[in-house]
Structure 1
Amino acid sequence: MTDLTGRTALVTGASRGIGRAIAKRLAADGAHVAVHYGTNEEAAAQTMAAIEEAGGQAFAVRADLAETSELDTLFAGLEEGLAGRPLDILVNNAAVIDYSGTIEGATPDGFDRLFAVNVRAPLFLVQRALPLMPAGGRIVNVSSGVTWFATPDVVYSMSKGALNVLTRSLAQTQGRRGITVNTVSPGITETDMNSWLSQSPEAARGVANMVALGRHGQPADIADAVAFFASDDGRWVTGQTLEVNGGLLLGPPAA
């Protein structure tokens, strides 16, 4: 375990899935975690309950990240929860996907909503968070393997590619303050977004056959990588994208 005792963290989209796993891991390492959620207050409460039952500390902040105006609500709740402390760690995890966002099915409205949550929100979250962040802070963006392997969902893939670019630019501009900025890029991971993995054993086996380590990912696998970047162990790593995918598509299956 890494040691984040005395530090604070904001994890967006922390009510379930990878975001919940990240919030739980950072709290287990000692951070006081702001659990962001959009609409599912009950799920956010479950995340906080899991953190508190394990001896950690958390508070909830709500905002619909598709609406820039709601960042005011998010940061009002964040600053109230921080109670004068700085924000040491920001994890931009929240995202939406639109499976109709293919080259044939994409619409302007669908494009705008997806980019609002997946690209615009992280940019302006960072802009608002930086004044609260001390020297040596940590920013971790959660991207996706679809930035390097092709899927039909072109709009989603484009949005995650933009997030990778954001990481590199921020790492350059914020390095003078000792703030590291990195991307964790999950492979095929069992979440609500990929519910087919749990619903179809055949599909899960198909994924396992594409992965060197022989299984699809779990949210905790991604959370552990985020914890590294958030910790002192990651102090000399910035502007990087870490593929956390168990060896996805390394080549033909080994004999």
Structure 2
Amino acid sequence: MPGSKDALQVKPFRAPVHAALVHLPLACFSVAAVLDLASWLVSGSDIQFQPAAFWSIAAGVVTALVAALFGFADFISIRQDHPARKQALWHMALNVAAVLIFAASLLLRRGQLDADRTPAAALAATLIGYGALMVSGYIGGHMVYNDGIGVGRHRRRTPLPDRTIERTGVAGEFVAVCRADEMQEGEIRRASIAGTVVALARTGDRFFAVQEFCTHRFGPLSEGCIRDGTVMCPWHRSCFDLKTGTVTDGPAKEALRTFEVEVKDGNVRIRVPVATG
């Protein structure tokens, strides 16, 4: 349901919650790993490492499940043909595996919390789970910093593109991209017109097409927002006039390439661009 998805993405507050929540299970699992190792390395200590590690893992599992709800809402918003979607699947799979392994660590120490040392099997599970978590965290960071997954998307009020609309045609001719009544006010779709990727936007009863990638750091404009006749890049908030492509607010310096759009027989059509360069 769109309402549930928007709530999990905390769109009313325009803030990415998953990125904040993951710090809680990471902290809990990190503390647990240190405590489990300490139970083996610090011999003869009166400190009860095991019970503390047990409750740290339990807290980590609970908070990880909460963070996972918000993370899954972010995952299903990734465009089907996005190159990072496969990485997102690995990120999710490793997180699920890590939580299950930590849960197994809890079960393996059940009834042995009074022991001086964490049972070897439970310690091994903790370390394996922690390793899976570190790999998953690396992949998550790569998706954000290298691919821009999730960056700025929470400011978007209309649905994100779920795919790239592929169209071919002869340069100079118009090709139908979608039905005009399919697009909401303020919505932006992503289309590839004879190999040129464009962002198709609707504002009022008018439609505009500009190049997909921001001239600043190549942010995806189809994931941006429309405000007062401009499109705002989700990454660094550069704004461009939808009609002319000119920069209305930096940090971008160069204008966007624009493409001719018409509505005919209820279809939004874009003129196939002539190859440049």
TM over 0.5: no
Q: Under a length normalisation based on structure 2, what TM-score does the superposition of the two structures give?
A: 0.24
Q: Which has the higher contact order (CA 8 A, sep 6+)?
A: 1
Superposition TM-score, scaled by structure 1 size = 0.25
